[in-house]
Structure 1
Amino acid sequence: MAGIASGILLALVNPGLGMAALSTSLALTQQAGINYTRGNEKEADRVGIALLANSGFDPKGAPNFFGKMAEQYRYVSKVPAMLLTHPLPDSRVSDARIRAQNYPSVNLKPSLAFELTQARITARYENNSKANVSKYEDILRTQEYKIKEAALYGLALSHYENKSAIKAREILESLLKADPNNLYYVDVLSDVYIETKQFDKAITLLSRLNSLMPNNQIVALNYANVLQEANELDKASHILQDLLIAQPEHFVAYDLLTTIYRKQDKVGSMHAAKAEVFVLLGIYPKAIDELQNGIKFSKDTPLFQKRLKARILQLREQEEKLKRL
């Protein structure tokens, strides 16, 4: 502030010199802010690595991750380090490695949940399904896997994505027999049973798990989906209504419930459920339109219509709060 004030006073005497002094003061202020931000970033890395170590994770995972980030920028033009608000990836990797060396190494066993998640992402979003089938067949043949079940799961999911539901079913049923409560297997197997029209098998499987894990979103959503495919619409809607009591802002549950109410020809309930989908998307005008349509076209009781009117008032109030913000 003193530098800026001096620059302004100097500009009254000598405009050229005063502007130079003012520009220098402003530049130094900006640089001080950048340095402060960069210092905060280094402090965050230090605290983060300490948290990793104290939580039982391998602290060397942080520099390894930063190394992957640095590879993305290897061939990208870089501005001088002094102008960056964040440390350069290379320097950040070096600092993280030095800090991680202060903690003992942790050798963790492979995690089945992690390996299954990785296989799910790979099978659904990496390459095409046919290539993924070949990939997992090669992994299983050469035994280049950390956990065999995860590789089999990846193969089954790749078969399903490749429209080979029967091959996927054989693998998944075998996996589920050894681990009957594994929801990774259940989630895909439910889709496979729907694809192969084996609704009874899916209902038996999910009914048991729903009793064991009530209002678990994976079980409940798959169970409701199978029931609506099997045209057991009342039961499907009850499952979703119970889930929404426990998780009142579940987007997928409302979306699926909208489909079920449409099949049941419950016009008012359908519009009400669709309105909640728009609420969760933050589109209040469309939500209000859906509720008004529910009042206009439904043949529900006056009490139900009053509930829809009260919800409209709530949404208008929320919309006004957003506008004031």
Structure 2
Amino acid sequence: MQDRAEESFIRAVETNPDDQYSLYQLALMHKDAGDLDRAEVIYKKLLEISPDHPFASFDLGYIFIEKKQYDKAVELCQKAVEIDPGNIYAHHALANIYKKSGRYEDALRELNKVLDEDPAHRYALWDIGEVYEMMGLKDKAEEQFKHYHEMTDCSFRRFWNCFD
């Protein structure tokens, strides 16, 4: 089925090289299949056509994270949050890059932006505790991990949190 879908999107792009929807779908298909190099080429073409595409900047940033090209990833994720300040995925990706590079205050800032949008975001809640641990703030880390467990327990009232 994916081959037929891919063929349809390829035909659409051949007919209209500026077809943003088809370009985006092709890039996603390649990214999901693990063909990051091909996806990167398509995302770059899409961003040439539409520099403010709401998702392409983040998705290309994700590819650079996977390729461990963090400077490029930061630039693209920052662009994604400029386009859409509520993009929790881009904020979370930035936080993870900052955490890995020892920029703990920046990581906390980004994680708190995620929680501003989604106060029960289980990964951001956990990552804040990890950042506190990395900073040597064991008491704050412990408090945060307790908060994480309170927010993500699988009781009926928090049923939907268990399926992230």
Q: Normalising by the residue count of structure 1, what TM-score does the alignment of the two structures yield? A: 0.40
1:281 alignment partner in structure 2: 152
One-letter amino acid matched to 1:137: E
Q: For 1:34-54, what per-residue CA distance to the aligned partner results, in whole angstroms no more than 9, with x for missing partners?
A: xxxxxxxxxxxxxxxxxxxxx
Q: Note the residue ranges of structure 2 that are not aligned, 5 or more in a row.
A: 156-164
> Partner residue of 1:199?
70
Q: How far has the Cα of 1:269 moved from its partner?
A: 2.8
> RMSD of the alignment, in Å?
3.1
2:8: which partner in 1? 139
Question: Does structure 1 retain, via aligned residues, the 8 Å contact 2:122–2:148?
Answer: yes
C-alpha contact (below 8 Å) 2:57/2:79 kept by paired residues: no
Indicate conservation of the 8 Å contact 1:210/1:220, yes or no: yes
What is the distance in 2 between the residues matched to 1:256 and 1:279? 15
Aligned pair in 2 of structure 1 residues 227, 174: CA closer, same or farther (>3 Å)? farther
Distance 1:275 1:162, change over 3 A: same
Counterpart of 1:249 in 2: which secondary structure? Answer: coil
Q: Choose which of 107, 110, 119 in structure 2 pairs with 1:248.
A: 119
Q: Is the 8 A contact 1:206 1:223 kept in 2?
A: yes
**1:247 Cα offset (Å):** 4.4
The residue number in structure 1 matching 2:38 is 167
1:156 is matched with 27
Q: Distance in 1 between matches of 2:117 and 2:36?
A: 33
Per chain length, whose mean CA-contact separation is higher, i.e. which structure has more relative contact order (CA < 8 Å, sep 6+)? 2
Map 1:1-325 to 2 at 5 A: 132=2, 134-143=3-12, 148-211=19-82, 213-245=84-116, 247-282=118-153
Number of equivalent positions: 152
Partner AA of 1:266 in structure 2: L
Aligned CA distance change for structure 1 residues 157 and 264 (closer, same or farther; 3 Å): farther
Counterpart amino acid of residue 183 in structure 1: P
Kept in 2: contact 1:183–1:218 (CA 8 A)? no
Using structure 2 for the length normalisation, give the TM-score: 0.71
CA distance in 2, matches of 1:260, 1:180: 33
1:212 Cα deviation after fit: 5.6
Return the index of the structure with the highest Cα Rg. 1
Aligned-partner SS, 1:183: coil
CA contact (8 A) 1:136 1:151 kept: no
Distance (whole Å) between structure 1 residues aligned to residue 96 and residue 81 of structure 2: 13
Distance 1:264 1:161 in 2: 35
Note closer, same or farther for the CA distance 1:262–1:142 as it changes in structure 2 (3 Å cut).
same
Q: Distance in 1 between matches of 2:82 and 2:120?
A: 22
Identity across matched positions, percent: 21
Mark the runs of 5 or more structure 1 residues left unpaired by the alignment. 1-130, 285-325
